[in-house]
Amino acid sequence: MKKRHIDHVLRAAGELTGEKEFVIVGSQALHGRLSQLPRALVRSAEVDLLATKRADRLAWLNTLGHGSPFHEQHGYYADPVDEATVKLPKGWRSRLIELPKGESCEIRGACLDPHDLAISKYVARREKDLQFTQALARRGYTSKRRLLDLLKATPVAEETRSRIRADIVRDFETKD
71-101 confidence digits (pLDDT tens): 999 999 999 988 888 999 999 999 999 998 8
Domain count for the chain? 2
pLDDT > 80? residue 39:
no
The whole domain housing 119 covers 115-173
State the Cα–Cα distance between residues 149 and 22, nearest whole angstrom: 26
Q: Which pLDDT does position 174 carry in this prediction? A: 59
Distant-in-sequence, close-in-space partners of 28: CB < 8 Å, separation ≥ 6: 1, 6, 42, 44, 46, 47, 48, 111
State pTM to two decimals: 0.91
Share of the chain above pLDDT 90, in %: 73
Domain check: are 101 and 139 in the same one? no
**Are both 80 and 24 inside the same structural domain?**
yes
Together in a domain, 70 and 150: no
Q: Are residues 92 and 9 in the same domain?
A: yes
Pair (23, 109) in one structural domain: yes
Instruction: Tell me how many degrees the CA angle 96-94-84 measures, rounded to the nearest 5.
Output: 75
Q: Do 106 and 125 fall within a single domain?
A: no
**Do 107 and 53 share a structural domain?**
yes
